[in-house]
Amino acid sequence: MRSEHSEESFEEFSARYEKEFDGVQDVFELQRNLNNAFAYDLVPSPSVLSAALRAARRVNDFPTAVRVFEGIKAKVENTGQYQQYLDELKPLREELGIALKEDLYPEETN
């Protein structure tokens, strides 16, 4: 039997979370949305992630911005994909001055 609810497409997912992150007003909302966005069986698109990073900047939460990249690293399948995300988000990352955890704690990289 088919579900009454239609599956959300990746584009709809991205649009929904971009909207969510654009509306974020405090750290709690930011982290709640990040937890939700990273709970799916997919890696959020760079547009969603940049919205999240801008939200982190807006609520002045530097550690969570670093954590976003940790989340990407945990979600992607291999280092190549992680590197693609890093390349894609590099301009924004440098604009906002977000360091990677690998840069902050190079001895603990795994």
Partner 1 sequence: MSAIIRNSLVRAARPSATAALGYRAASTHAISNPTLANIEKRWEGLPMQEQAELWMALRDRMKENWTEMTIQEKKAAYWIAFGPHGPRSLPPPGETQKVVLYTVIGLVASFVIFASMRMFAKPPPATMTKEWQEATDEFLKVSTLSRRRRPPLLSVVANPHPPLQAQKSDPLTGISSESRAGSHVQSPSSKA
The residue ranges that bind partner 1 (CB under 8 A) are 57, 60-67, 70, 94, 96-99, 101, 104-105
Nearer to partner 1, 7 or 94 (CB): 94
> Shortest approach of partner 1 to residue 110 CB, angstroms?
13
CB of 17 to partner 1, least distance (A): 21
Q: Give counts: helices (H), strands (E), the chain.
A: 6, 0
Instruction: Give how far Cα 54 sits from Cα of 37, 60, 68, Å.
Output: 15, 10, 11
Closer residue to partner 1 in complex, CB, 14/30:
30
Residue 66 near residue 106 (C-beta atoms within 8 A):
no
**16 vs 101, which CB is nearer to partner 1?**
101
Distances (CA, A) of 82 to 71, 77, 85, 86, 98: 10, 8, 5, 6, 16
The minimum distance between CB 3 and partner 1, in angstroms, equals 37
**CB closer to partner 1 out of 42 and 104:** 104
